[in-house]
């Protein structure tokens, strides 16, 4: 077994996903140490939104290289969602004074995608895996 596979089996994340988490932590620590945490947080959230928009645009293609890039961006945004939601919630807490509004926004950010995915059902009935399973 390759070392990359051992890392993935142990952590549940691929090496590039782990590196993404490290880069976000380094960016946040750098912003904190340089007293620029708010601009860094805003920049990370804007980068996340741009990634989601690119993912939606590229997933419209049914096959080919662009669809593969869209699938990669889907994995990227899924991995990065919780962190960017927490950054957005922290940024919101810097502006909004009401704890009730912050709690409601946090609940919507965390539970919203799960509720949406439960409500949005696949109308085609095609539940085949996106990628073939290797054995």
Q: What's the chain's average pLDDT?
A: 82
Q: Could you tell me which of 78, 81, 56, 76 has the C-alpha nearest to residue 67?
A: 56
Burial annotation 53-64 (CB, 10 A radius, 16+ → b, else e):
eebeebeeeeee
CB 89 within 8 A of CB 106: yes
Q: What pLDDT digit, counting tens, does each position of 19-46 carry?
A: 888 888 899 899 989 999 899 999 999 9
Domain ranges of the chain: 9-118
In percent, how much of the chain has pLDDT > 70?
87
pTM: 0.70
């Amino acid at each position: 077994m390759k070392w990359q596979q051992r890392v993935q089996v142990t952590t549940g994340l691929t090496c590039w996903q782990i590196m993404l988490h490290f880069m976000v932590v380094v960016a946040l620590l750098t912003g904190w140490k340089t007293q620029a945490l708010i601009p860094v947080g805003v920049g990370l959230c804007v980068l996340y939104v741009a990634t989601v928009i690119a993912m939606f645009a590229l997933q419209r293609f049914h096959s080919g290289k662009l669809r593969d890039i869209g699938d990669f961006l889907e994995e990227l945004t899924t991995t990065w969602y919780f962190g960017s939601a927490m950054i957005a919630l922290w940024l919101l807490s810097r502006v909004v004074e009401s704890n009730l509004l912050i709690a409601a926004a946090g609940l919507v950010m965390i539970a919203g995608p799960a509720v949406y995915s439960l409500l949005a059902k696949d109308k085609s009935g095609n539940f085949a895996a996106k990628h073939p399973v290797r054995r």
